[in-house]
Amino acid sequence: MKETQNSGEISDPPLGDGGLAEKSIEYRKNILKYIYNANAGHTGGSLSCIDVLNVLYNHVMNTNPENFTSPDRDRYIQSKGHSVEALFVVLADKGFFPESDLETLCKYKSHYIGHPTKKVNGIEQNTGALGHGLPISAGIALAAKLDSKKFRVFTLLGDGELPEGSNWEAALTASHYKLDNLCAIIDNNKLQITGPTSEVCNTEPIDVKFESFGWSVRHVDGHDLNALKETFDDLPFNEGKPSLVIAHTIKGKGVSYMENTVKWHHGVPNEKQYHDALTELDNAMMTIPDDF
C-alpha cells in the first residue's frame, strides 16, 4: 500500500495508470448515461472536471466509504456544484452508494439532484450557489490546523465562479492562516453559460492574482492523468502556503461535438447524439495502450 502524504492510515491502494485512463472513459460514459436518462444535467462541465476527480478520488485522497465518518479523512468540497454528475459517478464507483441509485437523478423525491447534498453518502457539504466552496474549505482546513490533524482539504472551483467576491475573501484567509493543507483546483475550461469566460468577466491572469494573495500556484493539463498525479503528489507546493492547481480543461472533453461549445454547458444529448458519444468513447477506450 502506498503511503499518502497525509495520515496514510486509511488510504486506498493506488491503481495502475491503465486503470485510471479506463476509469476516465467509463466515468464519461456514465455521466452521459445518467444525464441522458434524467434529461437534465451539466454535461460540459462534468466532462471537463472528471479527470481531476478521477485522480483525486483514486490516487490522491484517503476518502472512501469505510472512513467517511473518520475525522482524519481528506475532504472534498465541490464548489462548482452544478457539475455534480461527475461527482456522482465517481462516488458510485468508489462504493459510496449503488450506481443504480443514479437512475433516480433529478426525479421526484430523489436525493440525487442537480447539486451536491449531504443526503448523498460521500458528499461533505451542500453546494450549488457559487463562491461558497473556498470559504468552507478554508474553515475545515483551519479546524485541522487548530487540532493538529493531518488531513487535507480539496475544493474544485469553476473558472466562471471566480468573480464571486467570497472566493477572494477566503483566498486572503487561507494565506493569512498559512493553510498549506488546503488545495483549490480551478476547472479552467474557459467557458461559462453566456460564453467565453474572458468575455463575460475576464479573471486572467488567475495565477498572478492568487500568487499576490499569498498562494502557491501550478498549472496542469487537466486531462493528463499522469501530470495531474505528479502535481498533486507535490502538495503542498510550498510549506505555509495554500496551493492552487489551475487545471486547463476542455468543456465537453471526450465528445468531439461537445468540446469547447457553450451550448453543452447544460445541454442534454438526444438519442442519436447520445449513441454517437458512446461510440466515440468506446473507440477511445480501444486506443488506450496496454502498458499505459
Does the footprint of another protein cover residue 126 (CB under 8 A)? yes
Q: Which region, judged by CB under 8 A, interacts with another protein, from 40-48, 87-95, 129-137, 272-280? A: 129-137
What letter represents residue 150's amino acid? K
What is the x/- site pattern for another protein, positions 157-186, by CB under 8 A? --------xx--xx-xx--xx---------
Q: Which region, judged by CB under 8 A, interacts with another protein, from 121-129, 191-199, 202-210, 233-241? A: 121-129
Q: Which region, judged by CB under 8 A, interacts with another protein, from 134-142, 202-210, 239-247, 265-273? A: 134-142
What is the Cα–Cα distance from 252 to 264, expressed in whole angstroms?
7
**Other C-beta atoms within 10 Å of 39: how many?**
11
| Helix segments in the chain, DSSP class H | 17-38, 43-55, 84-94, 133-146, 165-176, 197-200, 206-212, 225-233, 271-286
Number of residues counted as binding another protein (CB under 8 A) = 31
What is the x/- site pattern for another protein, positions 35-74, by CB under 8 A? ------------------------------------x---
257 Cα distance to chain centroid: 22
Q: Which region, judged by CB under 8 A, interacts with another protein, from 41-49, 130-138, 207-215, 271-279? A: 130-138
Residue listed under C-alpha cell 452521459:
32
Name the residue among 179, 161, 166, 158 with its Cα closest to residue 135. 166
What is the Cα–Cα distance from 285 to 281, expressed in whole angstroms?
6
Does the footprint of another protein cover residue 146 (CB under 8 A)? yes
Interface residues toward another protein, by CB under 8 A: 71, 118, 124-129, 131-132, 134-144, 146-147, 165-166, 169-170, 172-173, 176-177
